C-alpha cells in the first residue's frame, strides 16, 4: 500500500492499526475490509460483553450463533458476487476473518472454524462432485452444520496408524460404524458428524456423515476444561450405527486423503494463534498505558517496553508467516511441512506472547476482568489441537531429512 492510502480517511478505516505493524491488511481489498469491519462491530458490541461470564460458566453464548451466521462471513455475497457462489472469497480474506474472531476470543474462532474450516474442508476434499453440489451450499449457509470427528480416546497424535473405529459394509451396500471419538468440537449442536473409520474389508480409512441423532450415537460433554471453556467438546460413542452408502464421502479412500484435509486445516489454526496474540498484545498495551506505579505509567518503564517489543515481534513474525503461507496456498502450493511450520511457530510465539501479556497485567492478569487471562488460558488448547508442537516438528523434520522419526 502506498503512503497516500495510509493517510486521511483510508487510515481512519484501517482495522488493525497497532497490531498489524507491517501493514498486512493492505493486501485486503476495500470490500474485504468492509466485511471484516462488519464482523469487528458485531464482536465488539454483541460478543465482547458476554465473554468473561460465559467463559467462567463453561458455556457457549448460543445467542451469538445465529447472528454470526447471518453476517454471511464464509462466502460473503459482497465478495463472491450475486447468483450462484462460484467465485470463492480469497484465502487472505478467510485468514483475516479467523484472525479477527481469534483477536476477540479463541472459542468463537474455534467454533466458527469447526464449520468453515474443518467440516467444510472435509466436504471440499472428501465429497464427490455430486455430493459437493448438494452439500456445499448448505455448509456455507450453515443449514447443514457439521464437525470433524477424527481423534479417538486412545489415539491422538498417532491417529493415522491407531484409528480403531470400524466401518463394516453390509450386503445391502450400507455401513455399520463402531468405536469412539474424543474432543470433537461443536458436536452437540451439529446436524452431522464427519466420522473417520477403518474399513474392516481393506483396512483403509473412510469417512461418513453420521446423523448426530442416529440410533447408537451417544454424546457426552467433556467437563472441567481449563482452556477454551466456552467451546463445547464431546466424547462420542458409536455403537452399531447404520450409515447409508450415500453418506460416505466418496473421495476418502485412505489416510492420505485425511492428511490432505489436515494440511489445509493447520493453516487456519496458525491464523487463530496469530489472532490470539493480537488480542493479548492489545489488551496488555492498553493496560500498561493506563496503569500507574511509582508515579508513572507502566508503559514508561524500560523493562515493560522490552516485553511489549517482544510481543509485537512475535505477533508480526506470526502474521508475516501466515500471510505468506496463505499466498502460497492461493497459488496452489500445498505441502504438509509448510502448514506444520506455520502452526508450530505461531503457537510457540503465541505461548510466549500470552504469557508476557499476563505478566504485564500483574495480579489483574489472572482475573477474567482482564482479557489477557482468557487468552492466556485458551492458548493452551490451541497449542495442542490440530497437531501438537512435537508432531508438527516431526513433519518438518521428515521433509528436511527424508527420514521419518515417527515411531510407528
Q: How far is the CB of 37 from ligand FAD (least distance, A)?
A: 29
Q: Is residue 228 part of the contact set for ligand FAD (CB under 6 A)?
A: yes
Q: How far is the CB of 389 from ligand FAD (least distance, A)?
A: 6
In angstroms, the CA 240 to CA 233 distance is 22
Q: Is residue 390 part of the contact set for ligand FAD (CB under 6 A)?
A: yes
Residues 324-383 that bind ligand FAD (CB under 6 A): 381
Q: Which is nearer to ligand FAD, 3 or 407 (CB)?
A: 407
Q: Is residue 406 part of the contact set for ligand FAD (CB under 6 A)?
A: yes
Buried b (16+ CB within 10 A) or exposed e, 70-108: ebbbbbbeebbeeeebeeebbbbbbbbbbbbbbbbbbbb
In angstroms, the CA 251 to CA 404 distance is 26
Q: Is residue 156 part of the contact set for ligand FAD (CB under 6 A)?
A: yes
Q: How far is the CB of 22 from ligand FAD (least distance, A)?
A: 31
Q: Is residue 60 part of the contact set for ligand FAD (CB under 6 A)?
A: no
Q: Is residue 208 part of the contact set for ligand FAD (CB under 6 A)?
A: no
The answer to whether 323 touches 24, Cβ cutoff 8 Å, is yes
Q: Which is nearer to ligand FAD, 113 or 316 (CB)?
A: 113
Q: Which residue matches cell numbers 489436515?
A: 262
The answer to whether 187 touches 147, Cβ cutoff 8 Å, is yes
| Among positions 185, 275, 279, 299, the unique one binding ligand FAD when judged by CB under 6 A | 185
Residue, CB closest to ligand FAD: 156
Q: Is residue 174 part of the contact set for ligand FAD (CB under 6 A)?
A: no
| Among positions 184, 190, 272, 379, the unique one binding ligand FAD when judged by CB under 6 A | 184
Q: Is residue 386 part of the contact set for ligand FAD (CB under 6 A)?
A: yes
Tell me how far the alpha carbon of residue 117 is from its chain's centroid: 7
213 contacts: CB under 8 Å, gap ≥ 6: none
Q: Which is nearer to ligand FAD, 24 or 340 (CB)?
A: 340
In angstroms, the CA 179 to CA 133 distance is 30
Q: Is residue 241 part of the contact set for ligand FAD (CB under 6 A)?
A: no
In angstroms, the CA 90 to CA 326 distance is 9
Helix 91-104 vs helix 30-42: angle between axes, to the nearest 10 degrees? 20
Q: Which residue matches cell numbers 480469497?
A: 90
Q: Which residues bind ligand FAD (CB under 6 A)?
A: 147-151, 156-157, 183-185, 228, 233, 381, 384-386, 388, 390-391, 406-407
Amino acid at each position: 500500500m502506498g503512503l497516500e492510502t495510509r493517510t486521511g480517511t483510508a487510515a481512519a478505516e484501517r482495522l488493525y492499526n497497532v497490531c498489524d505493524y507491517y501493514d498486512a491488511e493492505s493486501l485486503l481489498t476495500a470490500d474485504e475490509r468492509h466485511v471484516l469491519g462488519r464482523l469487528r462491530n458485531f464482536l465488539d458490541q454483541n460478543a465482547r460483553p458476554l465473554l468473561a461470564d460465559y467463559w467462567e460458566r463453561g458455556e457457549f453464548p448460543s445467542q451469538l450463533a445465529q447472528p454470526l451466521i447471518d453476517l454471511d462471513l464464509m462466502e460473503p455475497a459482497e465478495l463472491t458476487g450475486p447468483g450462484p457462489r462460484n467465485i470463492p472469497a480469497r484465502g487472505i480474506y478467510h485468514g483475516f476473518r479467523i484472525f479477527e474472531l481469534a483477536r476477540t476470543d479463541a472459542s468463537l474462532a474455534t467454533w466458527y472454524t469447526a464449520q468453515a474450516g474443518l467440516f467444510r474442508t472435509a466436504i471440499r476434499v472428501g465429497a464427490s462432485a455430486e455430493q459437493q453440489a448438494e452439500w456445499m451450499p448448505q455448509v456455507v449457509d450453515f443449514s447443514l452444520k457439521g464437525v470433524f470427528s477424527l481423534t479417538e480416546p486412545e489415539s491422538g497424535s498417532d491417529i493415522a496408524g491407531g484409528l480403531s473405529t470400524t466401518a463394516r459394509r453390509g450386503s445391502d451396500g450400507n455401513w455399520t460404524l463402531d468405536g469412539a471419538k474424543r474432543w470433537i468440537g461443536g458436536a452437540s449442536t451439529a446436524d452431522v458428524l464427519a466420522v473417520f473409520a477403518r474399513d474392516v474389508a481393506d483396512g483403509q480409512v473412510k469417512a461418513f456423515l453420521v446423523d448426530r441423532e442416529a440410533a447408537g450415537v451417544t454424546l457426552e460433554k467433556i467437563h472441567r476444561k481449563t482452556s477454551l471453556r466456552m467451546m463445547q467438546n464431546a466424547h462420542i460413542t458409536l455403537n452399531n450405527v447404520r450409515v447409508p452408502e450415500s453418506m460416505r464421502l466418496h473421495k476418502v479412500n485412505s489416510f492420505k486423503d485425511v492428511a490432505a484435509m489436515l494440511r489445509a486445516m493447520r493453516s487456519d489454526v496458525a491464523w487463530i494463534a496469530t489472532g490470539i496474540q493480537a488480542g493479548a498484545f492489545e489488551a496488555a498495551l492498553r493496560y500498561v498505558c493506563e496503569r500507574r506505579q511509582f508515579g508513572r505509567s507502566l508503559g514508561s518503564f524500560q523493562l515493560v517496553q522490552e516485553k511489549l517489543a517482544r510481543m509485537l515481534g512475535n505477533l508480526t513474525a506470526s502474521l508475516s508467516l501466515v500471510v505468506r503461507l496463505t499466498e502460497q496456498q492461493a497459488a496452489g502450493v500445498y505441502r504438509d511441512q509448510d502448514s506444520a511450520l506455520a502452526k508450530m511457530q505461531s503457537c510457540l510465539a503465541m505461548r510466549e506472547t500470552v504469557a508476557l501479556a499476563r505478566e504485564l497485567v500483574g495480579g489483574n492478569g489472572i482475573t477474567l476482568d482482564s482479557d489477557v487471562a482468557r487468552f492466556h488460558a485458551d492458548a493452551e488448547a490451541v497449542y495442542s489441537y490440530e497437531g501438537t508442537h512435537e508432531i508438527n516438528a516431526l513433519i518438518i523434520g521428515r521433509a528436511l531429512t527424508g527420514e521419518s522419526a515417527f515411531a510407528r
